[in-house]
Chains A and B, each alone.
Chain A
């Protein structure tokens, strides 16, 4: 029976953003704000750093472009130089299209699988799924969760704090139901 943390419900996007600001100001770090859709300004309210996903995509895109250009150059200049309609072996302007397409393809893989990596998904088991009410988060509910791992975590204080800032339906979640 490992404790996971405390969740509290808020009424709407505004109150969730206000709650996020207060949780951050209180000094919590291991918390999250759950909503049915991304909320504008929430990253600043939670004090999150900019996502590093862009770098992953950039590196993947560059790899794709280099691979595409290298593949074509290698095939026609090194592996099997063949005269087709008198075109030069190293016809680099003709390589632009496939270089571009592979850059896009690799970037797309970088974006999707990089997103999964940073989000730690797929992860089918998570304590929040034990809460009956939490499942409304994918429809119309807004929740704050504060985890046990947080250095400032003290169960009674956290519950009181969440109540004070307007949280309702407060639940303490454990790793097994």
Chain B
């Protein structure tokens, strides 16, 4: 009599139906091998390309005309550009959390969504990096960020959080790209072995001649484990450093020590929202409901509940500390968030980030796909408003009433923000079309047959 362990029973739920190694390969590799691209893909791609053209046009005009076309003013020097930067880079964090941290914790359920999430990270970080790049105004000297020897003897100030941020986000992008590509090598070999003609050459080039021998897997697994190990502190450092752009200033409402953990929790929260949105769309369009199952969505909703409660705790703790500090400027900054002229931004944030995830206490809502889809979008709206609260509401009224002003975005702020969706989705859709959206090798590891002790009987 063999007794099924709990882990195996759960594994069966993660891969329902009679699946084996062959069917997993066929299902996942079948998507990029499709002869006819689904009509939904073309519709989404057309929409993304239109948004991308808005992006190119508005960024072009920004470079031509200067940052004066934005709504930024004195005292709100950081408007939508920094909101969007923090928002996009935060979305990226869930990808690394899923691929690295859940890998270290041996959470095998991540194997169905990690490729997806890592790709989302890559394009989200590209969208994020655009904003500081164009915010410098004179984009042609953006390379001054780099510590390059030059005839002016000029160096970046390494003691400034802004340059830490540049190094952190740049490292984050590079490491995410390496991690993503390393995970892709065995799957590219699968595509190479199934393709013909030019496709075989292209996939084969990027597969680097992978042969799947254990002498290769041995080094590969260690490299993957180490990448996961170093990505974990890296991802925690990135948003902590982003938060120190704010926290090391003296502005009331920014100068707080709670910022780093609070930013990291919020980043993971919004990132899971985005993974949820994308995976619900992709499993629908490509009929992959048996690989990205309701079980996965349920688990993601649980993480969103956890991180949503963490940001909720941070919001209340900020208020408490503002009052408890006895600092009138600090207290004012927070009262102004909730009751000032931008009260709607604050309460939109509270509704989306604190109230909405409370439904995830109930299994019924965690498994209700239309509900999850709507909530995942609300979460991202809420997290955008969180950055709006932090950047705009804090800056528009600081110490002296004589220096206060209201902030209004212009159409160029909106156009560039919408345009980054074009950049993001164009990249993401091309990925869905040409590369396996689920890791083929890792999805097989969830099958009980992949365990060399499978079928051993315990008499």
Q: Which residues of A contact B (CB under 8 A)?
A: 12-14, 16-17, 20, 32-43, 46, 48, 51, 53-54, 57, 61, 71-72, 75-76, 79-80, 84, 87, 91, 94-95, 97-98, 100-102, 104-105, 107-109, 111-112, 114-116, 118-119, 121-126, 128-129, 135-140, 145
Contacts and interface: CB of A to CB of B under 8 A. Distances in A.
- The 5 A-B residue pairs with the shortest CB-CB distance in the complex, in nearest-first order: A115-B223, A140-B21, A32-B213, A135-B193, A122-B208
B354 interface: no
A43 B221 CA distance: 11
A108 B174 contact: yes
A138 B186 CA distance: 7
Interface in B424-459: 440-442, 444-445, 449-456
A111 B21 CA distance: 29
Contact of B158 (A75, A108, A112, A119): A75
B338 interface: no
B220 A38 contact: yes
Contact of B454 (A14, A111, A126, A137): A14
Given A35-B217, A48-B214, A139 B194 contact: yes
Contacts of A43: 214, 218
A108 B230 contact: yes
Given A87-B159, A108-B179, 12 more contacts: A14-B453, A32-B213, A33-B214, A46-B214, A79-B155, A95-B158, A100-B237, A102-B171, A115-B182, A124-B208, A139-B22, A140-B21
B211 interface: yes
Contacts of B217: 35, 38-39, 42
Interface stretch (B85-93, B160-168, B339-347): B160-168
Contact of B237 (A32, A91, A101, A115): A101
Interface in B211-245: 211-223, 226-227, 230-231, 233-234, 237, 241
A170 B21 CA distance: 22
B204 interface: yes
Contact of A84 (B159, B179, B221, B222): B159
B155 A75 contact: yes
A121 B216 contact: yes
B158 A105 contact: no
B168 A97 contact: yes
21 contacts: A13-B452, A32-B215, A38-B214, A38-B220, A40-B452, A43-B214, A54-B222, A76-B159, A79-B155, A80-B153, A98-B158, A98-B164, A102-B167, A108-B175, A108-B230, A111-B182, A115-B219, A119-B220, A126-B209, A137-B193, A138-B186
Contact of A137 (B212, B223, B227, B237): B212
Looking at A17, A37, A41, the one whose CB has the most chain B CB atoms below 10 A away is A37
B142 interface: no
Contacts of A126: 209, 211
Contacts of A51: 218-219, 222
B41 to A, nearest CB: 25
A128 B211 contact: yes
Contacts of A12: 449
Contacts of A116: 208
A41 to B, nearest CB: 6
B193 A111 contact: no
Looking at A41, A101, A137, the one whose CB has the most chain B CB atoms below 10 A away is A101
Contact of A107 (B160, B190, B204, B230): B230
Given A54-B222, A115-B182, A115-B223, A37 B167 contact: no
Looking at B21, B29, B234, B452, the one whose CB has the most chain A CB atoms below 10 A away is B452
A101 B168 contact: yes
B445 A37 contact: yes
B444 to A, nearest CB: 5
A121 B175 CA distance: 20
B303 to A, nearest CB: 24
B358 interface: no
A140 B213 CA distance: 14
